[in-house]
Amino acid sequence: MEREIKAFIEAGGIIPKNESRPDVDEQEASEKAEEAEKWMKIIREVITSGYSSRIGLLYHWYSGGVGTEEFTLKPRIDVLISEATPERLMGMEQDRLYQFCRE
């Protein structure tokens, strides 16, 4: 899973629809949708494998260092794995923790 996370970071992550850049073309949007599907597969595998009953994701656009930047977390949103979709992942709100969990 570390390999997937590293690839995700190197690819620039996923920019949610409400934070999309104006220069994003259709091909890039399609690639982001494919990446979102890959991440949903990882989330589902972790939860259904029994390795963990939940996994959390936080979207934050850093302007400083990971260890030094301060920001305020919005209230957590719990998402049942049965309701998790790539579209939901791509629509994540910045600075809000999304906790994907079993039924």
For the chain, how are helix, strand and coil distributed in percent, rounded to 5?
A: 40, 15, 40
Q: How do residues 15-57 score in pLDDT, each as one tens digit?
A: 554 555 555 578 888 888 899 999 999 999 999 898 899 999 9
> Could you tell me if 36 and 17 are in contact, meaning their C-beta atoms sit under 8 angstroms apart?
no
Q: How do residues 69-103 score in pLDDT, each as one tens digit?
A: 888 999 999 999 999 999 999 899 999 999 999 98
Q: Measure the CA–CA gap between 101 and 79, rounded to whole angstroms.
A: 6
Place of tokens 């009953």: 53
Residue 78 pairs in a beta bridge with: 99
Question: How do the domains of the chain map onto residue ranges?
Answer: 2-101
**Stronger pLDDT, 86 or 4, i.e. the higher one:** 86
